[in-house]
Structure 1
Amino acid sequence: MVIIYGQRHALTPIKGLLSDTIHHVMQQVLGLPEGKRAHRFISLDSDDFYYPSDRSERYTVIEVNMMQGRSVATKKRLIKTLFELIEQEVGIAPIDVEITLQEQPEHCWGFRGMTGDEAKLNYSIKV
């Protein structure tokens, strides 16, 4: 699951493009299937979203929640590819993007009536 935070006036016009870009990177780097898009946009009013003074109003925070298992190299490639393609495709400079990866063991995920360690996934998390 990916959660994207930003100021409403800056985030709303680019939601679709940003979601497409993020999902493309997740497919390219992590091997996620096309239908495995789970993005949540949190659009905040300006007085509800404080950010560093050296960032612009386009400052965007991206939290990627995923099961443990990816290598350090894969996680670094994910972050760097997100920076690169978000700048190229969406026009947000890397200085205005903050990315965090949140990992939990498979047994801490619940979906389709089971835990993640019981599920038969159609992609690998050991990349």
Structure 2
Amino acid sequence: MILIYGIKERLNPIKGRLSDVIHGSMRDVLGMPEDKRAHRFIPMEAVDFYYPGGRSDAYTVIEINMMAGRRPETQKTLIKTLFERIETELGIRPVDVEITLHEQPPHCWGFRGMTGDEAADLKYQVKV
């Protein structure tokens, strides 16, 4: 599950393209399948979205929730790939993007009526 926050006037026009960039990065770096896209966009009013100094109104926050198991090198590659592609494909500078990875043990995930540690049919590897 990925949550993306930003000022609505800046975020709404690019949602589809940003979703494609994020999912393409997840596929290329983590091996996620094409049909494993779970993005939630949270466009906010400017008065409700405070951000650090030195940023523009393009400031975008991306929170990636995933099962634990990826190596630190893989996680860093994902973050750097996202920075690069978001800048190249959407023109948003890395200073205007904040990315956090939140990992939870598989037993803390619930989907399709089971917990993540019970799922034996995932179409992707968690330990990459």
| TM-score, normalised with respect to structure 2 | 0.98
User: In the alignment, what sits opposite 1:125?
Assistant: 126
Q: Deviations over 1:45-94 (max 9, x none)?
A: 00000001210000000000000000000000000000000000111000
Equivalent-residue separation in structure 2 for 1:94 and 1:104 (angstroms): 26
Q: Does 1:94 align with 2:94?
A: yes
Sequence identity (%): 67
Q: Give the AA of the match of 2:40.
A: R
Equivalent-residue separation in structure 1 for 2:22 and 2:92 (angstroms): 13
Q: Deviations over 1:10-60 (max 9, x none)?
A: 000000000000000000000000000000000000000000121000000
Q: Give the AA of the match of 2:72.
A: V
**Structure 1 consecutive aligned stretches of length 4 or more whose deviation exceeds 3 Å:** none
User: In the alignment, what sits opposite 1:60?
Assistant: 60
Equivalent-residue separation in structure 2 for 1:73 and 1:53 (angstroms): 29
- Length, aligned pairs only: 127
Which runs of 5 or more residues in structure 1 are unaligned?
A: none
Q: Give the AA of the match of 1:113.
A: G
User: In the alignment, what sits opposite 1:79?
Assistant: 79
| TM-score, normalised with respect to structure 1 | 0.99
Q: Give the AA of the match of 2:52.
A: P
Which runs of 5 or more residues in structure 2 are unaligned?
A: none
User: In the alignment, what sits opposite 1:116?
Assistant: 116
Q: Give the AA of the match of 1:67.
A: M
Equivalent-residue separation in structure 1 for 2:91 and 2:34 (angstroms): 23
Residue 43 of structure 1: SS of its match in structure 2? strand
User: In the alignment, what sits opposite 1:3?
Assistant: 3
